[in-house]
Amino acid sequence: MQQNRKLCDYKKLYQLYEAGRVFTAFDTETTGLKPINSTIIEIGAVKFDRSGIIGSWAELFNPGHSLPEEITSITHITDEMLSDKPPLKQRIKDFLSFLGDSIIVAHNAQFDIDFLNSECAKNGLKRTNNDFIDTLGFSKTIFPDMQNHKLGFLADNFNIDKGSSHRALDDAKTCMELMKKCMYPNGESQQQFLF
């Protein structure tokens, strides 16, 4: 079975980034917390390398049923917003094509990867096997004294524009900026091997 491999060698990550490797920061919004009984209702992703953003991908999906109230209160995504959207199964191949063989970047990455791979399995597709960076773990390594490592808290602390939190594309962009901050805590021209 294919496996997604977590990159924990941050020095190697820095070298890959400097060498021009392509990354895709992505985020999902879902109908619940477990892929077994929940589905993705939004994917947002931004593909980038050292030279900047290469492309972005953002789409809402109709889960085929009403959203739980708590999901709407967190994401501000409503049933009305999803009513004319396609189900994910119609677009998942397009997202996988966008993702390609890039290195995935996500905050609490296993959550989003598990959901994506579950959706692949539900639709008869192979699991992804992209390497990934978890910015939650990365930030804990680089900034161990931070009182909180939630994405929004870190964005506020480092003056990263977080747009609309709990919307997938804005969270993906925030995650991209957080990865860069972790690699270059003193500014891009002053990288120091803290790891």
- Quick: pLDDT tens for 147-168: 999 999 999 999 999 887 779 9
Spatial contact of 31 and 68, defined as CB atoms under 8 Å apart? yes
pLDDT band with cut points at 50, 70 and 90 for residue 52: very high
Question: Catalytic: which of 65, 76, 107, 166?
Answer: 166
- Over residues 113-149, the pLDDT tens digits come to 999 999 999 999 999 999 999 999 999 999 999 999 9
At 112, list the tokens. 């989003």
Question: Is 107 annotated as catalytic?
Answer: no
The pLDDT of residue 185: 87
Query: Within 104-159, where are the H helices?
Result: 109-122, 135-142, 151-157
What's the chain's average pLDDT?
A: 93
Contacts of 36 (CB under 8 A, 6+ apart): 118
Contact present, 107 and 162 (Cβ < 8 Å): no
| Token duo for residue 43 | 């994917």
CB burial of residue 72 (10 Å; 0-12, 13-18, 19+)? middle
pTM: 0.93
The answer to whether 37 and 165 have CB atoms below 8 angstroms apart is no
Which pLDDT band, with edges at 50, 70 and 90, does 193 fall under?
Answer: low
Share of the chain above pLDDT 70, in %: 95
